[in-house]
Amino acid sequence: MKKLSFSTLLALCSALLVITAALAAISNGNFETGDFTGWIKSTFINNGFSASHGVGGTDLSVIVGTSGSGPLSFSDGHTSGNLLYPAYGDYSARVNSDASYSGGGFAKNANIITQTVSAALDPSDSLSHIRFTYAAVMVDPVATPHTAEEKPYFRVRVINTSNGNDVIYDFSSYVNEPGKNWQDGPTFSGSDSWKYINWQYVDLVSSVAHPVNAGDNITIEITAAGCSLGGHPGYVYVDEITDGNIAGPAIQAAGPATIETGTTITYTYTYHNGSGSSINPTITATQPTGVTFTSVSDAVNCVLSSGTVTCNYTGVSAGTNGSFTIDGTVTAPGGSQIAHGNYNIAASGFPTVGGPTVLTDVTDSTPVTVTINQSVGQVDPTNTRLLSFTAVFSEAVSGFDSSDVNESFNTNCAPTVNISGSGTTYTVTFLEMTKECTATVTIPGDAAESVGRPGVFNQASTSTDNSQRFQYIRKYYFSLPASDGWVLESTSTANLGGSMNSSDITMSAGDDVNNRDYRFFSRFDTRPDPLPAEAVIAAVNYRVKQVSVTGTNPLTTHGDFITELNKPYFGNSSNLELIDFQNRADQGACNFETTILVDGFYRCVFFKTAINQFPRNGVIDLRSRFELDDTDGVSDLLTVYSGNYAFQFSRPELFVAYYFLPTP
């Protein structure tokens, strides 16, 4: 039975009190006139799918079938006899032919059939539908590979000329396009072979983006073309072009536009019997690449086996619908696309008809993982003022910068943070630390965005070793025994050396009962163990160990306990001399702290300006004295061990801490 006539539909819609226009009568959409009545035929030269049409071409389109032959009476030899036609009734249309190539005499040939109708809206959804079936036969260029633009193709466009030539739908496929159920036919020539799509059902629907109003002028345009290089033919069969229901069984699958990898996808299959009698259809659906079918909702009529669901229904009445669902697990990776088109409906007396391919974009919102650890080759602890960490993301990311790093330090060493790298791997470095410190680094969640999966960010980092320490190298130098000692002022007001001793195991600073000042001296020689030329000195400490206090501790009464420096000596030789008492110092070195340390030492931390005077490979002389005198006639002395003391680690010591700058 063919689709309902225009007058019948009009009467039905009036009876249902449907206000919108009745479905338009597409003229001769079933081609049962045996010709192209109602259609306009045209030709062009195929210069490529997206290229402008070339002038020329030959009309090779024909009506196939004979009066009274009935459906599926003939077979197409280029499909090994598997494609049968007409699909319905006695006739189908074939657009273009197997001669549409240079060997057939019609290189690059392309044909179009068009028809313009007045739009109607389907009462069930108030949308415009164009439904049809097609079967395509074309040669796949293998010996000389073609681009998708160059291959044979077919195309169906529906254009609303009442709305600025808005293209409502544009349905096409080139030969052997993935996801379109192209099947293998016989050899064409050499490694080139025929390919075909058996009868497929398509329902093109208007949308919010492309609206159609009742009465709009709608142009239907069907194209088939041989390849644009001229050597490979292509043609398409069409039948039952209607805005109602096709006159036989039809099926259409629906699925989500997007799906998360690893989740469950549900396909809904809706079938319809558009014929005039009851049918017993068989529906087959095979799982697409990237999906594993797991269950089917209709356990009575359907069976799932080895990835294919087969449903056998009986007594599906004319004009009725049915549906079922199939669930599957998405195994396709994020960023890929699932194309499900391998499903069809078959019933005795009708072609086996497939449905439109359902395309689903696969997403993957699994957070990007990231690890951050010490960089390979990083020394820990390091004496170089650079701490290096490597962040490795599980996939390429963007937007990762220094603000995306969480760092903590055991001291406030105020480093500069720098990030370099791209893609999956970044180097995080800390430079210019102002003091020793240990850095611990993490990367918080949402710090960087996946390049391949926009909108997906990283989760918080994991680590096996994400801490590093920057510390100084320490060297200790001990006072030279023969060169240190004390010098006593000649008189309380002379400011001249009067007596000295460089052999005692102790030395003092302060004043005696005659109010004469004591000053002590320490001399250090770094030449036996010089500092590296590239070393950067961070700190210098001078330390002396207390032996005793006589009278009042001068640290509490005599002002600052001052240490001055000269290089190499205060006097004229390496020996202690009386003139060392009064000779001018090069500069102040440091002031002793007033609190004694737990190990019995007093510490004098070099001023920054004095650090530069530290001899990397030479001699330095230190003179220590109190800032103020007193005239109380009482001896007030602080006595410490000298370089002559037997136990080395109680002698005066000069401690230096240094580090290295990173190599540029």
Residues 6-65 pLDDT 10s: 333 333 333 332 323 334 469 999 999 999 999 999 999 999 999 999 999 999 999 999
Q: What is the pLDDT of residue 8?
A: 33
Fold match between domain 249-363 and domain 370-471: yes
Task: Report the predicted TM-score, pTM, of the whole model to 2 decimal places.
Answer: 0.62
User: Residue 19's pLDDT is what?
Assistant: 27
**Quick one: pLDDT at residue 454?**
87
Domain ranges for the chain: 6-242, 249-363, 370-471, 476-659
Q: For residue 281, is pLDDT > 60?
A: yes
What three-state secondary structure class fits 77? helix
pLDDT at position 18? 31
Top-confidence residue, 620 or 124: 620
Which CATH code for domain 249-363?
2.60.40.680
pLDDT digits (tens, 9 = 90+) for 86-142: 999 999 999 999 999 999 999 999 999 999 999 989 888 899 999 999 999 999 999
- Give the C-alpha separation, 499 to 300, whole Å: 120
Three-state SS across 83-102? Answer: CEECCCCCCEEEECCCCCCH
* 179 vs 142: CA distance, rounded Å: 19
**Alpha-carbon gap, residue 160 to 477, rounded angstroms:** 95
**Farthest CA pair distance, the chain:** 145
Residues with Cβ within 8 Å of 386's Cβ and at least 6 positions away in sequence, in order, are 429, 430, 431, 470, 662
Give residue-wise pLDDT tens across range 208-253. Answer: 999 999 999 999 999 999 999 999 999 999 999 998 889 999 999 9
Checking DSSP bridges between strand 506-511 and strand 166-174, what pairing results, if any?
A: unpaired
Q: Which amino acid is at 466?
A: N
| pLDDT beyond 90 at 631 | no
Q: What angle do CA 342, 347, 352 make, to 5 degrees?
A: 35
Strand 536-550 relative to strand 497-501, pairing: unpaired
- Give per-residue pLDDT as tens, 474-512: 999 999 998 999 999 999 999 999 999 999 999 999 999
> Average pLDDT for residues 405-420, to the nearest whole number?
90
Classify residue 55 by burial, with Cβ atoms within 10 Å: 0-12, 13-18, 19+. Answer: exposed
Which pLDDT score, from 0 to 100, does residue 663 have? 82
Helices and strands (H, E) in the chain, number of each type: 2, 46
pLDDT value for 171: 87
Nearest to 426 by CA among 458, 468, 470, 379: 458
Q: If pLDDT is split at 50, 70 and 90, which confidence band does 563 have? A: very high
Contacts (Cβ under 8 Å, ≥6 apart) of 71: 84, 86, 87, 88, 89, 349, 350, 351
Burial of 423 (0-12, 13-18, 19+ CB in 10 A): exposed
Q: What is the pLDDT of residue 505?
A: 97
Termini Cα distance of the chain = 86
Query: Given pLDDT bands bounded at 50, 70 and 90, which one contains residue 4?
Result: very low
Return the C-alpha torsion angle 501, 507, 508, 509, nearest 10: 80
Any idea what DSSP says for residue 404? G
Alpha-carbon distance of 251 to 347, in angstroms, equals: 12
Instruction: Give the Cβ contact number of residue 571 at 10 Å.
Output: 18
Which CATH architecture best describes the domain 6-242?
A: Sandwich (2.60)
**Residue 86: is the preceding peptide bond cis (ω within 30°)?**
yes
CATH top-level class for 370-471? mainly beta
- Amino acid letter, 571: G
Span of 8-17, 442-451, 552-561, 591-600 with lowest mean pLDDT: 8-17
| Spatial separation of the C-alpha atoms in residues 232 and 101, rounded to whole Å | 5
CA 249 to chain centroid: 46
pLDDT in tens, 339-391: 999 999 999 999 999 998 999 999 889 999 999 999 999 999 999 999 999 99
Give just the sign of the alpha carbon dihedral 603, 608, 610, 615.
Answer: positive
Per-position DSSP letters for 613-653, written without gaps between them:
TS-TTSEEEEEEEES----SSS-EEEEEE-TTSSSGGGS-E
Tell me what pLDDT residue 509 has. 98
The pLDDT of residue 452 is 85
User: Average pLDDT, stretch 172-193?
Assistant: 93
